[in-house]
Amino acid sequence: MMFVFKVGGKIPFSRIYNLQGSTPFLPNTEIHVRVTENVRVGKQKQGGNSPYKVEFTHGEFVWNIRCSFKQVQALHNALRQYRTLLHLPLLTRNFQDRIPKSASGNRRIPELPNELLTPESEDLDLEAGPTSSHKRQIENYLSSILKISIYRNHQTTLDVLEVSPLSFVHDLGPKGIECKIQKRSGGYRLMCMNCCNDICTHWSQRWLVVKDSFLMYLRSNDQKICGVLLFDKEFSISSGKGVTNVKNGVIITNLSRTLTIRCPSYQQCLWLCHEVNDLVQKQCTSYTMENRFGSYAPRRENSLARWFVNGERYFSEVADAMEKAKEEIFITDWWLV
């Protein structure tokens, strides 16, 4: 995956403290769609229902997803069902409270053919070929959906686009791959944290978010951040039942933990491993290489760290930093009381 990260408007870092109910997209910013190529993962056959690589541009963020025509059809059916519920005269109070204020505007869903155009179809561009026509259908449909706010913010749309409230937070770095997973408990390197998990292993539904120096997973119901794994010198990711002993399983390892997750499909496992390994090789070598003194972090020039020999200068620097703070103040210490 190629990340493009430009300077521009942003969602503040303070968003991480209030994720539930947050609108994930940048305000007043369009989303541009481009279907780039037909992709194959593993032994998957090329055909009308094989996935395409779809590129999205949203302000400073550019990311790719793997999307098939069947997924677009499932999205279309979910949005039609949602639109039908909006037109029902009698709705429960719980459902009424969850309808956004913008739902009173345009609710028309773009048309989607029951199946991809074939060479015999009248609307087919014979010079471009069937593959080009398939791309155009998916591209036009997604572009139309994303222009209507109630459908753009629908949970099914967010799942297809691999978007969460943390996707476009500027200070968290560029957007990477995201997906629904099931996470197995345990796997920590510290024995004290595994005392119960060896006996009481269970699976939990989570949302996985990959960034340029770490990955994390959120709780599905309230979007709370439940765990973070840094890319370090022992980071690795692999899939396959022979490796994980779990169907559609993926194992992610670093210095602090071995995390076992389960993806919705085998193809999703391969795609996740491919994207993360590609990211690590291209953009995270400074974190995954061997660093001085066995450190997990690389050496940095022009660091803001300071050496102090007495408390007077230390507290003077702390006071100056607090006065300059704009969003938050984070203080850490070995023996902070």
CATH class of 177-293: mainly beta
Nearest to 231 by CA among 275, 296, 294: 296
Alpha-carbon gap, residue 208 to 178, rounded angstroms: 5
Alpha-carbon gap, residue 99 to 170, rounded angstroms: 28
- Read off the pTM: 0.76
Handedness of CA 139, 144, 146, 147 (dihedral sign): positive
Alpha-carbon gap, residue 78 to 84, rounded angstroms: 10
- Tell me which DSSP letter residue 46 carries: P
Q: Specify the 3-state DSSP secondary structure of 331.
A: coil
Q: Which two tokens stand for residue 18?
A: 């209030």
> Kind of pairing, strands 52-58 and 249-253?
unpaired
Residue-wise pLDDT tens for the chain (337 aa)? 434 333 345 788 888 888 877 789 998 899 999 998 777 665 555 555 678 889 999 998 999 998 888 888 899 999 988 888 877 765 555 655 555 555 555 567 777 655 554 434 434 343 444 456 778 888 889 999 999 888 999 999 999 999 999 999 988 889 999 999 999 988 876 655 555 554 567 899 999 999 988 999 999 888 889 999 999 888 999 998 888 888 999 999 998 899 999 999 888 999 999 999 998 888 888 888 888 887 777 788 888 788 888 888 889 988 998 999 887 788 777 666 5
Q: Which two tokens stand for residue 212?
A: 């340029």
What residues have CB less than 8 Å from 333, skipping those under 6 apart? Answer: none
Domains 4-161 and 177-293 belong to one CATH topology: no
**Domains of the chain, residue spans:** 4-161, 177-293
Q: Options 3.20.20.140, 3.30.1520.10, 3.40.50.300, 3.40.50.10800; which CATH number does 4-161 get?
A: 3.30.1520.10
